[in-house]
Structure formats: C-alpha cells, structure tokens
Amino acid sequence: MADSSIIQDPATPDSFKYCACVIHNDHGIPYFHSHSLRHTHGTILTENGASPKTVMERLGHKNFKTTFEPYVFNTQKMKDNAVSIFTEATR
C-alpha cells in the first residue's frame, strides 16, 4: 500500500514551489525561490558544454539575450575553461 504522505508526482509546479518555500523558510536561505532552479539549470547546461541554442530552447526563451544575460551565470569553471581553451589555441 502506498504512503499517502509521499508526493506521487514530484515534478509539478506546486511541488517545486513547496520545496522552495521549505528551503526559503525552514532552512533560512532568504533569496532562494523556485525560479532559482531555472537559473541553475541554464548555468549547469552551459557550464558543461550545451549549445547556447539548446539552453535557450530548454528555458523557453526566444532570444539569446533573455537567456544569457539574466539566466546563465559565468562560473569559475567557465572562466577556467576559457583560459584553457585560449592557452591550448595559442601553443
């Protein structure tokens, strides 16, 4: 018999909002909200080499600027990778 307290479909918008509220309120992370997951998703994809067009489409955007100005953060991994690419290209 299934436990009725277990979320049956954890991928609903309401379940994400609930989890964000728990993180925000119960764990004291004041600036976390469910929308933060979109930023994280875009950044992880970009950081690991996904094409900009794919990231843009996955986030449901119609133009590059909307995706890459506010959504994707330039991480240390990305900066280090850029240095490695330049170093390798100029050898």
Q: Is residue 5 in a domain?
A: no
Which residue type sits at 20? A
Q: Is residue 3 in a domain?
A: no
* Nearest in space to 39 (alpha carbons), one of 61, 63, 22: 61
Q: Whole-angstrom Cα distance, residue 35 to residue 18?
A: 12
**Which segments of the chain have a pLDDT < 70?**
1-11
Q: How many domains does the chain have?
A: 1
Q: Is residue 6 in a domain?
A: no
Angle between helices 36-47 and 13-21 (to 10 degrees): 100
pTM across the whole model: 0.64
pLDDT digits (tens, 9 = 90+) for 73-89: 889 999 999 999 999 99
